């Protein structure tokens, strides 16, 4: 646990008592603060009270008279589409609003570090797609190289649940826009921006607000090094804002769309080959095509970002390459479930938006595509360019018929995962890939994308 510092003796309100909320309450108490907890869910309050925490409703400005700070769980809106009433009351009372990420960066460094030969470091990864794989890949490469490291944030453990760091340890954090938009302290040593595509637009008040939430990771604290995907205009803009000039190697630009040139530091992938250039000279290259855990150009982008972050830490190219080859991949992200009679089954349930699903489709030549769910803003037109590999779509979800009508490919309305997998298996021929890449949220039928992916794996297992 990372005990929260700087709030000793203070009353701190904690809104939302899921994983991050309870973790924050424990860390606040460990640091000498008095957490006052609230969740609209009675079962969540009961769990907090069973741990000895005081639960108190915050309904008015006056309820915050003695409160120093409000800590908010990531799923609770504070501005758009409208503020949660508790957050609105706190802001009206002049109480600062923060989250567990802010508490982590506020409390991570301790006086014990003066005994270390090498100070612990933090790599923080954000972006629309690929941040989980990029974070896990960095962590895997570090672990395989023998470097002490921990993985936390939106993946792995909660940020305040990690162990106190050792000499030279690296903490890798995956951070969503919900987490970066509110944290009062954001001071990673290395910050990574994978890419940007429309997502969570209602929560951020549009694309500009969404980008602004991501940008805070780079603007608030100023990382020593920034790894920036520059295949979108926003990434190029961000890299330009952070750089003092073309040769400024504090910014490492990453691309999977073109060769990057110039006197700075670049990492890019073309036709399955990763190349690193510094001062206009190639210093390393890797063939990514045979790495089973990183299929497709979207994973090559993740590999480039992870490579750049690891190189910024000083790891040798051969060490990073070896880590790539032993990387097993993550569940629900281009996860190979099995193969039978020449047909492969791939679970990419994490492809919850159009851009992620398009990248998943582009990774394979002949696809039986299982898609559908709770459609996000912006429609499905962005899938058309990647649909050339699709032989047929099998659409799930409560609104499967409406979803199917928007697709530019032959589509069959199946509604349930059981029916979609069964029909895909009946149609599949050797060389086909039965791919779950929903291009939609899961909440119309499942609690989360993991549950949806698990259902796909369970249905596929009937045929393996």
Query: Which segments are annotated as binding site for ATP?
Result: 127-133
Nearest to 411 by CA among 426, 388, 390, 425: 390
Query: Beta strands 149-153 and 170-174: pairing type?
Result: parallel
CB atoms within 10 A of CB 213: 22
Question: What is the separation of C-alpha 303 from the centre of its chain, rounded to a whole number of angstroms?
Answer: 15
- Cα 426 to Cα 21, 179, 338, 417, distances in angstroms: 46, 43, 16, 14
Residue numbering of the annotated binding site: 127-133
The answer to whether 20 and 158 have CB atoms below 8 angstroms apart is yes
Given phi > 0 = left and psi -120 to 50 = alpha, else beta, which region is 284? beta
Residues 6+ apart with CB under 8 A from 362: 296, 297, 298, 386, 389
Coil, strand or helix: which one is 173? strand
Q: Which residue has the tokens 């005994």?
A: 115
Residues 6+ apart with CB under 8 A from 245: none
* The dihedral sign for the CA sequence 41, 47, 50, 53: negative
Coil, strand or helix: which one is 203? helix
Tell me how far apart the terminal alpha carbons of the chain are, to the nearest angstrom. Answer: 42
The DSSP code for 163 is P
């Amino acid at each position: 646990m990372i005990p929260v510092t700087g709030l000793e003796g203070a009353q701190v309100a904690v809104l939302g008592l899921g994983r991050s909320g309870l973790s924050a309450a424990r860390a606040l108490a460990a640091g000498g603060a008095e957490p006052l907890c609230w969740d609209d869910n009675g079962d969540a309050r009961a769990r907090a009270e069973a741990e000895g925490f005081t639960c108190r409703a915050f309904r008015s400005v006056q309820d915050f008279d003695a409160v120093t700070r409000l800590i908010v769980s990531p799923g609770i809106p504070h501005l758009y589409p409208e503020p949660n009433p508790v957050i609105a009351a706190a802001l009206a009372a002049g109480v600062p609003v923060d989250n567990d990420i802010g508490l982590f960066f506020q409390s991570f460094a301790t006086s014990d570090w003066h005994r270390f030969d090498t100070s612990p470091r933090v790599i923080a990864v954000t972006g629309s797609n690929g941040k989980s794989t990029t974070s896990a890949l960095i962590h895997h490469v570090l672990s395989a190289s023998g470097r002490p490291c921990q993985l936390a944030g939106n993946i792995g453990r909660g940020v305040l649940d990690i162990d106190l760091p050792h000499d030279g340890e690296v903490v890798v954090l995956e951070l969503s826009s919900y987490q970066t938009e509110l944290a009062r302290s954001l001071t990673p040593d290395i910050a990574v921006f994978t890419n940007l595509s429309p997502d969570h637009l209602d929560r951020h008040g549009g694309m500009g607000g969404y980008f602004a939430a991501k940008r805070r990771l780079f603007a608030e604290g100023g990382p020593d090094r920034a790894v920036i995907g520059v295949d979108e205009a926003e990434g190029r803009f961000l890299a330009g804002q952070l750089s003092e000039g073309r040769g400024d190697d504090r910014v490492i630009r990453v691309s999977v769309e073109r060769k990057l040139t110039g006197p700075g530091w670049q990492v890019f992938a073309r036709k399955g080959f990763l190349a690193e250039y510094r001062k206009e000279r190639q210093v390393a290259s890797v063939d990514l095509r045979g790495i089973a855990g990183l299929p497709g150009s979207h994973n090559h982008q993740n590999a480039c970002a992870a490579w750049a972050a690891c190189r910024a830490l000083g790891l040798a190219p051969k060490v990073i390459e070896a880590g790539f080859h032993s990387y097993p991949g993550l569940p629900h992200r281009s996860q190979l479930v099995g193969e039978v009679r020449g047909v492969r089954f791939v679970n990419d349930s994490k492809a919850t938006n159009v851009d992620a699903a398009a990248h998943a489709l582009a990774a394979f030549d002949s696809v039986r595509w299982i898609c559908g769910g709770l459609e996000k803003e912006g429609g499905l037109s962005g899938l058309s360019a990647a649909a050339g590999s699709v032989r047929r779509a099998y659409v799930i979800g409560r609104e499967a018929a409406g979803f199917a009508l928007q697709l530019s490919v032959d589509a069959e309305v199946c509604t349930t995962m059981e029916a979609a997998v069964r029909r895909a298996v009946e149609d599949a021929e050797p060389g086909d890939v039965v791919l779950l890449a929903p291009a939609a949220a899961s909440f119309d039928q499942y609690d989360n994308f993991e549950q949806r992916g698990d259902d796909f794996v369970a249905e596929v297992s009937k045929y393996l």
